[in-house]
Structure 1
Amino acid sequence: MRICVVGAGAIGGMLGVKLALSGHDVTLILRGANLEAVRQNGLKLIEEGGKELLARPARVTSVIAEAGVQDVVILGMKAHQVAAIAAELPAIMHERTRVVTMQNGIPWWYFHKLPGAWEGTPIRAVDPDGVIAQSIAVDRVIGSVVYPASEVIQPGIIKVIEGNRFTLGELDGGDTPSIREIADAFKTAGFKAPISRDIRSEIWLKVWGNLSFNPISALTHATLEDICLYAPTRELAAAMMREAQTIGEALGVQFKVSLEKRIAGAQAVGQHKTSMLQDVEQGRPLELQALVASVMELGRITQKPTPTIDAVYALTSLLANTLQQHKATLRLA
């Protein structure tokens, strides 16, 4: 297949390397020093056990239109970066091209193909101007949940921290030839790629932790283990998660694990810095809209209160604005 990874950073690049090495025609969309490094030396992936893989994709560019027409487009960037490139995507699609969305948080398409009172309702927190929905036909979209953790340790080199599972799902819960073909491609490349008949419940299971642990870590500079072991922040995370669970259940979501088990799972990850804390340390924009504001928006839609989530969002949003205004980073020595 012709596969384009738009935003081939830590996760997108991980996919790109292994899909290319398994025989697919892979194009990577990159920027800056990462782009130049991959052009010159290829893209290296260091797996959990230390094994190094080197791929030289078919095309490496910063211009989406140069990718040519693709069978699959994987959106590997963060949620707040999608709107900026959405209008460029139709140029690389044919009538059957599928788009795999790999953003954390509540996706822009959440209520599309979801029967009920809110069917088709936009999520303004992640698509405020509607440009994503206008540019990507909902029939093209395949939802996904990203479970691996990896990081770009230097331009052109990605290190896997843990995990290799990418759950995929049609928005209507269907089982189609195209999603099976994509899942098979992932599996051949060495990933676990189960197909979910309820992708929204899978998304909520990850959102459940992200909406709490990410902003708390950004504010406190604590790791997942530290947050869970310190009683006040453990209870703060639990309070945010209880509010979110009430919203999810009002939307028909089934939480397949208990709240305590979800917190225990985060604690078991150990001394790991969340992506939002890493963004604070490196002066990058925070994923607050997709991870937190979107859940607040769903709370308003379902008329469920979110006082704890609102308070943590306000504090973290102010931190993000302050860092952006001063073009600053914040890191413990």
Structure 2
Amino acid sequence: MDVKRFIVYGAGAVGGSLGAFLHRAGHEVVLIARGPHLDAIRDRGLRVVTGAGAAMETIPAVSGPDQLVGAAGDVVLLAVKSMNTEAALRDLTVAVDRATPIVCLQNGVANEPAALRMFSNVYGVCVMFPTTHLEPGVVEARAWPVPAILDIGRYPAGVDDTAEAVAAAFRSAGCHAEPRADIMRWKYHKLLMNLGNAVDALVRPTDDVTEILDRARIEGMKVLTAAGISFVTAVEDGARRGDVLRVGVRRSVSSSWQSLARGTGSIETDYLNGEIVLLGRRHGVPTPVNERIQHFAEVVAREGRPPGSVPLSELVAALG
């Protein structure tokens, strides 16, 4: 496929950073953002902070797909939180052809099947991208000189010319990217790692939550095994990551942490821990730890509590 334009739906931490790097590499990019973030991008550009310093990027930005005219060669990079995926896809159906490639640049594993209901060409990306978005008009890529590992494959499986072309574009933007026919095996391993996102967001970084994370991930592995879902091993994942992503002295925080920090009132735990809960219910595997993390995180987000505001003892008591 000859990619003519990247439409980045969700110009936050991951989408905004990648959109900026693709733009710098000479690709045509349009960002879809909203609210004060969109206003800041339009008024003064997107401020991109990296290990090489800060720079302003002037990138076209709109508030929705209805302001775009779809064309051959478009590729949509879907980078919204999972709870916003269905609404984003419905918006896209009125603006772009149903054969337009939809690349799910998201955590979780529910986005790809949702996209496949509406679009015929869907791709998953295993996102390893330490990046933050905490204020309007600003994104920060925490790893440098390689900002991300973004392996891609067709959903549910396979590699084609589009996957090859998008991977090449990601590489041109300074990221590591490989086409993978088994991309969902990698995304399911990433799901297991993301089961700790809510815990990271809730308690202080100095608290030892190793036992909680182990319990959540052991539940997750039991559920995936019972469901017959294959996932890569920690050894495979470690070999892929190696020392590619070199993060600075400041701690890298999860997307869930950032949601609490921005006071959005929502958190994507339903599509991380909640995915394990869903599969556990389908296959008769108890998932009490993930279920309680899911519910606890929802309450904290709804109440507008900031990250790190939950005493470890309170979380432990909630988990039982």
Give the AA of the match of 1:208.
Answer: L
- 2:25 matched to which residue of 1? 22
CA contact (8 A) 1:27 1:67 kept: no
1:217-296 correspondence to structure 2 within 5 Å = 217-220=200-203, 222-223=204-205, 226-227=206-207, 230=208, 233-250=209-226, 251-257=228-234, 271-284=251-264, 285-296=266-277
Distance 1:36 1:252, change over 3 A: closer
Distance 1:217 1:53, change over 3 A: same
1:2-151 correspondence to structure 2 within 5 Å = 2-50=5-53, 52-57=54-59, 59-70=60-71, 71-94=74-97, 96-109=99-112, 134=117, 136-137=118-119, 139-151=120-132
Runs of 4+ in structure 1 deviating by more than 6 angstroms, as ranges, are none
CA contact (8 A) 2:157 2:183 kept: yes
- Mapped pair 1:320 → 2:289: no
CA contact (8 A) 1:22 1:188 kept: yes
Give me the TM-score of the superposition, normalised by structure 2. Answer: 0.82
1:179-218 deviations in Å (ceiling 9; x for gaps): 111111111122111112211111122111211x222233
Select the residue among 175, 186, 189 that pairs with 2:173: 189
- 2:312 matched to which residue of 1? none
Offset at residue 78 of structure 1 (A): 0.7
In the alignment, structure 1 segments of 5+ residues that lack a partner are: 111-126
1:13-32 deviations in Å (ceiling 9; x for gaps): 11111212222221111112
1:59-102 deviations in Å (ceiling 9; x for gaps): 31103121221410111111111222221102332354100112
Structure 2 SS opposite 1:94: coil
Distance 1:32 1:315, change over 3 A: closer
Distance 1:309 1:153, change over 3 A: closer
Query: How large is the Cα RMSD of the aligned pairs?
Result: 2.7
Structure 1 SS opposite 2:140: strand
Distance 1:172 1:278, change over 3 A: closer
Give me the TM-score of the superposition, normalised by structure 1. Answer: 0.79
1:210-253 deviations in Å (ceiling 9; x for gaps): 11x22223332x23xx35xx2xx211210110110112233231
Offset at residue 161 of structure 1 (A): 1.1
Distance 1:75 1:272, change over 3 A: same
**Inter-partner Cα distance in structure 2 for 1:26 and 1:255:** 33
Structure 1 SS opposite 2:190: helix
- 2:199 matched to which residue of 1? 216
CA contact (8 A) 2:222 2:285 kept: yes
